[in-house]
């Protein structure tokens, strides 16, 4: 099949960017979206031109490195799918596809389709951890965790931190990411000790990074490749509210 791509090209964070049109010829429906870009890039390199810069790593939907807003939807709009798992069979022969980077003040474009997502790392550093004193390995069964609690914590922990929630949100809000990370640890007994501090510090860092506010549109949950529920945002709101009212 043949596809026409309108791709955002931008030399560096300060340069003005713009769309360039490329033809992806002779690609197959079994290829992933990134493999198709690889094909286009090989042709560009062979022709002595700059390849399109984009992020990827595991290419199996677990690392959160791939991004891309494809025809207006982060990760291309297939439920529970990252761009690296998106196959060309979801497109039709001759289709024109617009490819853009995540757009948010907190995610500046580094080059072409690559954005700097280290704002997420700084939010994690602000509280997305459990403080432990190193020592002997603790007995795995010393702290009982009910199955339902463990499952819910796991639902939140499934977040791979790709930033699609920010990219799709009309407010460029990072609430779904932060909510997933706050909830994951706040639900578990190991994380409970630092529950209040975690909620306060991570939200504070999130605000500091310049993300927008949640207006509960639900777009984030719709595009999340790990299908994180909007209800985790409600949980974060609750945890943050309780911590605030305690006057911490």
Partner 1 sequence: MKTIANIFASSLGKKYIMAVTGFGLFLFVIGHLAGNLQVFLGPEAINRYGAFLQSNPELLWPARIGLLLMLGLHIWSAAKVSLENRAARPEGYAAYEPVGSTYASRTMLVSGSIIFVFVVYHLLHYTAQVQYLNLTGRDFRVFVDLKDRHDIFKTLVVGFSNGWVSGFYILGMALLCLHLSHGASSMFQSLGWRNDVYRPMMENLARVVALLIFLGYSSIPAAILFGYGREVLR
From the list partner 1, ligand FES, none, pick the one residue 82 interacts with, judged by a Cβ distance below 5 to 8 Å according to partner type: ligand FES
Burial (Cβ within 10 Å: 0-12, 13-18, ≥19) of residue 170: exposed
**Minimum gap (Å) between residue 240 Cβ and ligand FES:** 29
From the list partner 1, ligand FES, none, pick the one residue 59 interacts with, judged by a Cβ distance below 5 to 8 Å according to partner type: ligand FES
* Options 83, 115, 173, 205; binder of partner 1; rule CB under 8 A: 173
User: 51 Cβ partners below 8 Å, 6+ apart?
Assistant: 41, 44, 45
Q: Contact region for partner 1 (CB under 8 A) — 33-41, 86-94, 141-149, 227-235? A: 227-235
**Minimum gap (Å) between residue 134 Cβ and ligand FES:** 30
Measured at the CA of 173, the angle between CA 176 and CA 229, to 5 degrees, comes to 20
3-state secondary structure of 117: coil
CA distance 234 to 99: 32
Asked if 95 interacts with partner 1 (CB under 8 A), we say: no
Between 43 and 231, CB nearer to partner 1: 231
From the list partner 1, ligand FES, none, pick the one residue 237 interacts with, judged by a Cβ distance below 5 to 8 Å according to partner type: partner 1
Between 56 and 183, CB nearer to ligand FES: 56
Token pair for residue 188? 């578990």
**Minimum gap (Å) between residue 232 Cβ and ligand FES:** 20
> CB of 179 within 8 A of CB of 236?
yes
Token pair for residue 160? 């791979």
CA distance 157 to 58: 18
């Amino acid at each position: 099949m043949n596809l026409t791509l309108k791709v955002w090209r931008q030399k560096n964070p300060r340069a003005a960017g713009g769309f360039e049109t490329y033809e992806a010829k002779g690609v197959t429906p079994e290829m992933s979206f990134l493999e198709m870009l690889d094909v286009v890039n090989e042709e560009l390199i062979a022709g002595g031109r700059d390849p399109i810069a984009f992020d990827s790593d595991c290419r199996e939907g677990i690392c959160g490195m791939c991004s891309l807003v494809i025809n207006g939807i982060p990760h291309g709009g297939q439920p529970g799918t990252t761009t690296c798992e998106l196959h060309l069979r979801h497109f039709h022969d001759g289709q024109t596809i617009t490819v853009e980077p995540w757009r948010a003040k907190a995610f500046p474009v580094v080059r072409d389709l690559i954005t700097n997502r280290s704002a997420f790392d700084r939010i994690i550093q602000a509280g997305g951890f459990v403080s432990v004193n190193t020592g002997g390995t603790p007995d795995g069964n010393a702290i009982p965790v009910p199955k339902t609690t463990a499952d819910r914590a796991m639902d939140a922990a499934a977040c791979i931190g790709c930033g699609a929630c920010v990219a799709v949100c009309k407010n460029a809000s990072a609430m779904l990411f932060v909510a997933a990370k706050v909830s994951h640890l706040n639900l578990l007994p190991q994380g409970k000790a630092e529950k209040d501090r975690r909620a306060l510090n991570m939200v504070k860092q999130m605000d500091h990074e310049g993300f927008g506010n949640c207006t509960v549109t639900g777009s984030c949950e719709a595009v999340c490749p790990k299908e994180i529920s909007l209800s985790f945002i409600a949980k974060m709101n609750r945890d943050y509210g309780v911590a605030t009212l305690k006057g911490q």
